[in-house]
Amino acid sequence: MSADPVAIARDLLRCPSVTPAEGGALVFLEKTLKAAGFTTHRMTFSEPGTPDVENFYARIGTGSPHLMFAGHTDVVPPGNEAAWTHPPFAGEIDDGVLYGRGAVDMKGGIAAAVAAALDYLAAKGGKPKGSISFLITGDEESVAINGTPKLLDWAHKHGETFDHCILGEPSNRDALGDTIKIGRRGSLNGTLIVHGKQGHVAYPERADNPVTGLVALIAALKAEPLDHGSKLFDASNLEFTSIDVGNKTVNLIPGEARARFNIRFNDLHNQESLKTLLEKRALAAGGGKIRFSFEWEPSNADVFVVEPGPFTDVVANAVTEITGRQPILSTTGGTSDARFIKNYCSVVEFGLVGQTMHAIDERVPVNELVALTAIYRKILDRYFG
C-alpha cells in the first residue's frame, strides 16, 4: 500500500462526508487498512431523536503497548460552494496547497496517521512491536452521541484496551509544531430566566418588567471573574450569547425574559459547583426582589487534563526533531472527542494548523502534511522502540 499522505488525503477529501453522512470515507479507510493487515470493523450506532452514524475501528497486533490514533471523517457543510476558489470536495492541489472541506479538520490528520502507520509497518515486516489501532467516528462535528462515546464503549466490551492515544485534531495555532493539546476546558450551557408580570407600558406600576431584572443579573454575573486560572488552565469564562423576551409589541411589558449563556470552565470547577456558584451570585444580586430561575442543558463536556510525562515527552520530542519547534502544552480551545477518550487511556491532541478549519477554502500546504506524517512516524518509532 502507498504511504503517501497527500494521495490518502485527496481520496478522503473527495468523499462528501458532511455530518452524519459517511460519504465513502470510512469505506476507503477500511479498504486501505485491511489491505495492510489490520482487522477492521464498521458499525452503525443509533439513538432516538438523532441520526444514525457509521463508525470504524481497526487494529493490527495483539500485544502491548497499544497506541491508538483517533479522529473523525465527518465535516461541516461547505457553505456557499460558489465562494470557494476550488471545489470543496475535489481535493485539488494548487501551488503546493491542498484544498477541501476537512483538509485540516481533520482528514489531513487522519491521512498523515495512516501513511505513518503504513510506512512503519512496511519497515517492520508488517508487524508492530505492540498494537496500533484507528478509532474513527462520523459525528464529531454534531452532537457526538452515536460516534466516539459508543465506539469506545463497543471496543471496551469487546476486550479492547488502550495505553495511549493521539487525536489528530488541528491543535497548532500558527505553525506546525507550536502546540500540543494536553487537556480541554469543560463546557456548560444554560438559560437565565427572569419572571415578571405582563402589563401595559403606560401603567408600569401594574406590571413587573423582567427585562430590568435580567439586565441587572447579567451585569452581576459578569462583574466578577469565575476564577483567575489554574496551573494548567486559563481562567474560566461565562459568555451570554442571546437575549429573548418573545415580545413583538412595543407597548407591552413582557412577562418573562431569557438569556442563554455558555461557560468554558477549568479544573477549579465541575458542572454542579458552577450551577451552585451562579445560583448564589444571582440570589445575592437579586436581593430577594428579582424572581429568576436557571435552565441547564445536559453536557458531556467535562474538564480534563493529561499530566505531562513520558508519553507527552515522546510526542514533544518528535515534534521538535521534525519541525525544530518546542511545542507548548496547551489546554485552550473548545471541546473535542478527547473528552471521551480520556476515560479509557491517556490522550494528547496533535495535528495540523487550524487557521482555516470550517472556513471557505479550507486548505493545508502539502509540505505540512508530509511533515505531520514524519512526526507521527517518529512517534511510532520511539513509542515501540
Q: Where are the domains of the chain?
A: 5-184+303-383, 186-296
Could you read off the pLDDT of 7-65 as tens digits, one per residue?
999 999 999 999 999 999 999 999 999 999 999 999 999 999 999 999 999 999 999 99
CA-derived radius of gyration, the chain: 24
Could you read off the pLDDT of 120-142 as tens digits, one per residue?
999 999 999 999 999 999 999 99
Q: In the prediction, which pLDDT does 373 show?
A: 98
Give the separation between CA 225 and CA 266, rounded to whole angstroms. Answer: 12
Residue range 219-233: mean pLDDT, rounded: 96
Is residue 210 within 8 A of residue 254, CB to CB? The reply is: yes
Could you read off the pLDDT of 314-335 as tens digits, one per residue?
999 999 999 999 999 999 988 8
Percentage of residues in the chain having pLDDT higher than 90: 96
pLDDT at 256 over 50: yes
Q: Which of 140, 160, 362, 368 is catalytic?
A: 140
Please confirm, yes or no, whether 160 is among the known catalytic residues.
no
Annotated binding residue 358: yes
Q: Which of 22, 54, 74, 362 is catalytic?
A: 74
Tell me: domain 5-184+303-383, CATH 3.40.630.10, correct?
yes
* Cell numbers for 71: 479522529
Q: In the prediction, which pLDDT does 275 show?
A: 98
Q: What class has domain 186-296?
A: alpha beta
Annotated binding residue 105: yes
Of the pLDDT bands very low, low, confident and very high (cuts 50, 70, 90), residue 143 is: confident
Q: In the prediction, which pLDDT does 300 show?
A: 86
Annotated binding residue 22: no
Percentage of residues in the chain having pLDDT higher than 70: 99
Question: What's the mean per-residue pLDDT of the chain?
Answer: 96
Could you read off the pLDDT of 58-99 as tens digits, one per residue?
999 999 999 999 999 999 999 999 999 999 999 999 999 999
Please confirm, yes or no, whether 140 is among the known catalytic residues.
yes
Q: In the prediction, which pLDDT does 1 show?
A: 43
Q: In the prediction, which pLDDT does 67 show?
A: 98
Q: For every residue of the chain, which 3-state class applies, written as one string?
A: CCCCHHHHHHHHHCCCCECCCCCCHHHHHHHHHHHCCCEEEEEEEEECCEEEEEEEEEEECCCCCEEEEEEECCECCCCCHHHCCCCCCCCCEECCEEECCCCCCCHHHHHHHHHHHHHHHHHCCCCCCCEEEEEEECCCCCCCCCCHHHHHHHHHHCCCCCCEEEECCCCECCCCCCEEECEECEEEEEEEEEECECEECCCHHHCECHHHHHHHHHHHHHHCCCCCCCCCCCCCEEEEEEEECCCCCCCEECCEEEEEEEEEECCCCCHHHHHHHHHHHHHHHHCCCCCEEEEECCCCCCCEECCCCHHHHHHHHHHHHHHCCCCEEECCCCCCCHHHHCCCCEEEECCCECCCCCCCCCEEEHHHHHHHHHHHHHHHHHHCC
Of the pLDDT bands very low, low, confident and very high (cuts 50, 70, 90), residue 2 is: low
Say yes or no: do domains 5-184+303-383 and 186-296 share a fold: no
